[in-house]
Amino acid sequence: MTIDLHCRSFLTLLDFSPAEIRYLLDLSHQLKQKRQQGIIGSSLRGKNIALLFEKTSTRTRCAFEIGVIEEGGHPSFIDISSSQFGKKESVEDSARVLAGFYHGIEFRGYSQKTVEDLAKYSGIPVYNGLTDEDHPTQILADLMTIEEALPHKPLNQVKVVYVGDTRNNMANAWMYGCAKMGMHFVAYGPSELHPAPESLNKALACAKENGATIEVSSDPACLASADVIYTDVWVSMGEEDQIVNRANLLKDYQITMDMLKQTNNPEVLFMHCLPAFHDCQTKFVSDASQNFGVDVREVSDEVFRSKHSIVFSEAENRLHSIKAILVATLGTPNHNQLGA
């Protein structure tokens, strides 16, 4: 079956078939191998990509900028706070203006509707670099990383337990990715922070089509036989006023070596989208402790630095997987297919 993703936007994994996601994963692996061999790409030659950032970023910005450049294109970073976007100019008008300059738009910000409207009104490919509801480029990198770490275990035999705040964008994105790829996903956290019904129902409907298992639990027994333990920070961007409440709700869900042992899998993997609070070397953790008397570290330093942790390979794979998305959707016809 020929997969053609040319001119497609990448807003959520729910928009893609399992075969299309499989194609993007294979392309991600191939592009990583080419980079390791020193092979320079040119599939985005002559293409200009706008990188719209409403939220701050390290990995997403670096991955898009380097991914575009290494394939011969030109990225333009646009800090929304210093532009007219959403202030003196509507999202619709901005989308139409940018479409006159650029071949594609990446957006990282708060509202999923914003990234959807950019795609609707621009008429060019738009890429979701993160919203409050979803983070699809991260999941593609995560699936790629799991395949590297577990080369003899197909994704549809992998169990992922997402621990902590299971109603945030990362938990949603993981539910969608697992549902698409026929995986076993468990959202493990306090009932107050279980997935929103709307997001959960989307995942369950998709899971039914693809033979996936989606579960929600507050019982540590759900950790048994996990292949991957995944977490994210307890307080997302824009939720800083929730520090004390989240720390109290999630203190029993910090990833520790004892929790990893509960999986009964000596080879269990620890993953995190980063940045992670695992020690006291960040201002955020230090301020939370000094000002509020709470520990906001979602993972112990021991786990973060252990043999189980593959977080830095995961971070690097943001580049290769984002590059694959760009090549597949914007690459010239003789470059956007596997094997080119």
Alpha carbon 197 to its chain centroid, in Å, reads 21
Catalytic residue, from 273, 278, 297, 320: name it: 273
Catalytic residue, from 108, 272, 278, 297: name it: 108
- Catalytic annotation present for 61: no
- H-assigned helices in 223-335: 243-250, 257-261, 283-287, 301-304, 311-330
Catalytic residue, from 246, 272, 308, 318: name it: 318
Q: Which residue(s) pair with 269 in the sheet?
A: 228
- Catalytic annotation present for 157: no
- Catalytic annotation present for 279: no
User: What secondary structure does DSSP assign to 135-162, as a single string?
Assistant: -HHHHHHHHHHHHHHSTTS-GGG-EEEE
Catalytic residue, from 29, 142, 232, 246: name it: 232
**Cα–Cα distance, 28 to 33 (Å, whole number):** 9
Catalytic residue, from 59, 103, 135, 320: name it: 135
Alpha carbon 247 to its chain centroid, in Å, reads 23
Taking alpha carbons only, the member of 164, 172, 134 closest to residue 234 is 164
- Catalytic annotation present for 138: yes
* Residue 123, C-beta contacts closer than 8 angstroms, at least 6 positions apart: 99
**Cα–Cα distance, 29 to 7 (Å, whole number):** 21
- Catalytic annotation present for 7: no
Catalytic residue, from 134, 138, 206, 272: name it: 138
- Catalytic annotation present for 15: no
Q: Which residues are catalytic?
A: 108, 135, 138, 232, 273, 318
